[in-house]
Structure 1
Amino acid sequence: MKAVHFGAGNIGRGFIGYLLSKSGYDLTFVDISAELVGNLNRLGTYKVVSLGGEKREETVGGIRAVVLQDDSGLKKAVEDADLITLSIGANHLKDTGKVLRDALQERRSRNPEQPLDVIACENALFATDLLRESVEEGAAEDFQNYLRKKVGFPNCAVDRIVPNASVQKESPIDVSVEDFYEWDVESAKVKVNSQIRGVNYVENLAPYLKRKIFLLNGAHALISYAGYRKQYRFVHEAIRDPEILTAAREFHSEAARALHLEYSMGESDLKQYSEKLIARFQNPYLKDELTRVGRDPVRKLSNNDRLVSPLLMCEKHGVECGGILYAIASGFAYDFADDPKAVEIQKSIRENGIENTVQRFTGLEKSGKLVLGIAERYRQITGKDSCSRFPYQ
């Protein structure tokens, strides 16, 4: 079996590529960085260092890589692949879909009968659907028929923290990861890759995907933004702060209640998942920087992402959502000068005011109670009124 993985960064090497290699796939990475591709081809192996109670090392070997700009090399890799996976950042899916469309059209002309699965492994809701839309955009009907018959596009939920931990590396492509991972894949849309090691194949992905996006990514963002304002550097430092820990638990409680009402997920199971996440956030070996977790607040504050999506589910089911409002407000208060997206938000607040800015970036109704609630908590957080900077004091 052969796999092609777009994105040879830490997630690509330390999570998806790691599991594909352990599953026996011949693995080809595709990346935009010529230096990284050169190192992968020159060294041929790298170590995955798991950081938990004790450090554990495993070797991934038998790999090769091509640069994204190498059109012929990319098309050759895609031509006889059984599986294509991506971890490139959700913002890049549309452009990459166009590149993938060209490669799949070439594959169709040379290898039309071999089935294939394409899975976008991103921290976004139904990312593979977004990718498929880009691949199909403007395509001829006969090509779309080929995709329907021969190419599976299952969505997935991926969960592994891969920070830029400062551990000793023997080579520039070694990668450090936490010792926990979870990869859930829609079983009904899989054409051929039904035995990937470590994958949990599920009939209904939505509950797993939203549980992960809400409780892991949403709370992670909250910890980042609140911790940054308190001048912490790492996630494990910020979550030890009693106020931030209380805020994270409140966020979890509200989001979990909404998930229970939406999908009939067991409340005790959600509580256990929450406690496991809190323990993972407290892992001191990861040294996960808050500015890494919080980067690109424009995307994280968008309507269908980790903060606003659970807010809307809470509103749908009449669930108290003060903790989630506080998390979103903390995102608008995030003013890290080296993050261009944070700078963009701060500029909008100065020029247009907080209510207009919240409406612009979240897509929420401008005069609605949710926008007003976010704006009120933003003013509390930034000290623009007499209320507490942290509502959980």
Structure 2
Amino acid sequence: MRKVTIIGAGRTGRGTFGELFFSEGGFDIAFADINADLVRALREQGYFVTKQTDLDTGAFKQIRVDGFEVFDVRADRGAYLRRLADSEFVAIAVFPASFDAVAQDLADMIRLRIEEGMTNKAAVIIGGNFVGLRSYFEGALEKLLDAGELAVLDGQVALITSKANRKVTFSSDPDAEPLALEGDDKPILPVEDRFFFDEGYEYPSFFQRSNDVELSMAEKIWSENLLHCSLGFMGAYKGYEYLNDAASDELCADLAGKAWREGRRALEAEFGIPVPDDSLLETMLGKFGSPYFRDRIERVVRQPIRKLCRGERFLGPALLCLKHGIMPFFILRAAAYGFFVPNTGDEQAAKIEEILASMPLENAVVTITGLNPSVPDEAIACRLLVGFAQEIQCLEGAEKPKPAEGEITR
């Protein structure tokens, strides 16, 4: 059987890459992760269940994925690298903070292929909500490999950007099996058509090969993900538990929609991507508000510092707006709610709390976002974020009930 190794056994690794390769059939699947507890759980259970739901009708199907191997990236290092070297496909499903570690794994894989005299063609399918995925990994590998090793990479192992665009969460069913996942029912995986396989090669049927996936990723992150996370940040501030509730809130939906339109105008100005009519916005809000998919806001807003950084779903399109003379008023208004994401155990939310409490707001915004106030466009973004954060604080104070006469205040 053809081997595929999926680096990252979380929601996207299992619920998108894992399920798609399993349902295709004919693949020997392995997962690899640094989370020893997750590795142990997958080994002991030996399977997991995914549920894909049509967000328009509620129709769903459940797939039990089994028969896979699992590697601990650290504890099983030798066997893990051997598996990577032997794989026809390597799929990456990790957060950006782990990109450099995975690049090191790929560099070690290349060296092992050279040692073993391997010349078979392979493909590394890179997944993640990140603009410039392939460029990032190419740059990281150029620093890790010498000229001869890079020649082997460039001739034998194709780096392929993918758009893993399923919405995958842990199951919301209290009676669900351990490790169960649920999401929408997208049956395809858009991938760059940069493979090195010979003519006549049989690609997985779920691959949707095209030459514009990198551009499509920028469009997705700086418009759809912008809308999604705007709803999440505002919904979290208002105390909603599920994204459905935020999408059904008239004010949240209106402000998020206006942010989306600003992002679309920036994409048109930079890349020539036409601004769609409002029917697309209505469709997306309808899917986010679907009663058939309960997406926890806690999941949507996790790692808020990452989401507020340059190049991400807020500052990426905001700075693109400023570059083209478009004021990103609503994008940065939505982003400002990210400074007030409730701390429910997320390390980055706790870090934001700590930063806001330890320095003036102007300095806190720079520290959290990484913006450089000496750069004109970034200085404008900083000032807007500070103003919107102050507005939120003022409104929060105004909404607090005044103490009754004689009541002691703190």
Task: Decide: shared fold, TM above 0.5.
Answer: yes
Residue of structure 2 equivalent to 1:317: 324
Distance 1:365 1:39, change over 3 A: closer
Q: Report matched runs for 1:102-141 at 5 Å.
A: 102-141=108-147
* Percentage identity across paired residues of the two chains: 24
Of structures 1 and 2, the larger Rg is shown by 2
Per-residue displacement from partner, 1:206-259 (whole Å, max 9, x unpaired)?
331111112222222211211111111110111111110101111111111211
Q: Report matched runs for 1:281-296 at 5 Å.
A: 281-296=288-303
Query: What residue identity is the alignment partner of 1:20?
Result: F
Query: What residue identity is the alignment partner of 2:5?
Result: V
Residue of structure 1 equivalent to 2:356: 349
Residue of structure 1 equivalent to 2:219: 211
Instruction: Report SS of the residue matched to 2:15.
Output: helix
CA RMSD of aligned residues (A): 2.5
Q: Please, which of 380, 383, 391 is the counterpart of residue 372 of structure 1?
A: 383
CA contact (8 A) 2:170 2:180 kept: no
CA contact (8 A) 1:19 1:197 kept: no
CA contact (8 A) 2:113 2:119 kept: no
Shift of 1:309: 0.2
CA contact (8 A) 2:103 2:137 kept: yes
Distance 1:262 1:107, change over 3 A: same
**Structure 2: where are the runs of 5+ without partners?**
401-410
Residue of structure 2 equivalent to 1:59: 64
Q: Please, which of 226, 237, 242 is the counterpart of residue 250 of structure 2?
A: 242
Instruction: Report SS of the residue matched to 2:171.
Output: coil
The CA distance in 2 between the partners of 1:126 and 1:226, in whole Å, is 27
Distance 1:388 1:377, change over 3 A: farther
- With structure 2 as the length reference, what TM-score do the two structures score? 0.86
CA contact (8 A) 1:239 1:282 kept: yes
Per-residue displacement from partner, 1:152-209 (whole Å, max 9, x unpaired)?
112222211112232266642332112236632221x322387233332221233311
Shift of 1:380: 1.1
CA contact (8 A) 2:129 2:217 kept: no
The CA distance in 2 between the partners of 1:319 and 1:196, in whole Å, is 42
Residue of structure 2 equivalent to 1:167: 173
Distance 1:291 1:255, change over 3 A: same
Residue of structure 2 equivalent to 1:382: 393
Distance 1:248 1:120, change over 3 A: same
Instruction: Report SS of the residue matched to 1:84.
Output: strand
The CA distance in 1 between the partners of 2:371 and 2:68, in whole Å, is 46
CA contact (8 A) 1:80 1:111 kept: no
CA contact (8 A) 1:154 1:185 kept: yes
Paired positions, count: 387
CA contact (8 A) 1:296 1:340 kept: yes
Shift of 1:41: 4.2
Query: What residue identity is the alignment partner of 1:146?
Result: V
Instruction: Report SS of the residue matched to 2:164.
Output: strand
Distance 1:216 1:67, change over 3 A: same
Shift of 1:388: 9.5
Distance 1:194 1:135, change over 3 A: farther
Q: Please, which of 37, 48, 52 is the counterpart of residue 46 of structure 1?
A: 48
Shift of 1:133: 3.1
Query: What residue identity is the alignment partner of 1:29?
Result: F
Residue of structure 2 equivalent to 1:32: 34
Shift of 1:260: 1.9
CA contact (8 A) 2:234 2:252 kept: yes
The CA distance in 2 between the partners of 1:327 and 1:309, in whole Å, is 14
The CA distance in 1 between the partners of 2:10 and 2:282, in whole Å, is 29
Of 5-14 and 362-371, deviating more is 362-371
**Structure 1: where are the runs of 5+ without partners?**
none
Query: What residue identity is the alignment partner of 2:195?
Result: V
Distance 1:206 1:388, change over 3 A: farther
Residue of structure 2 equivalent to 1:333: 340
CA contact (8 A) 1:223 1:238 kept: yes
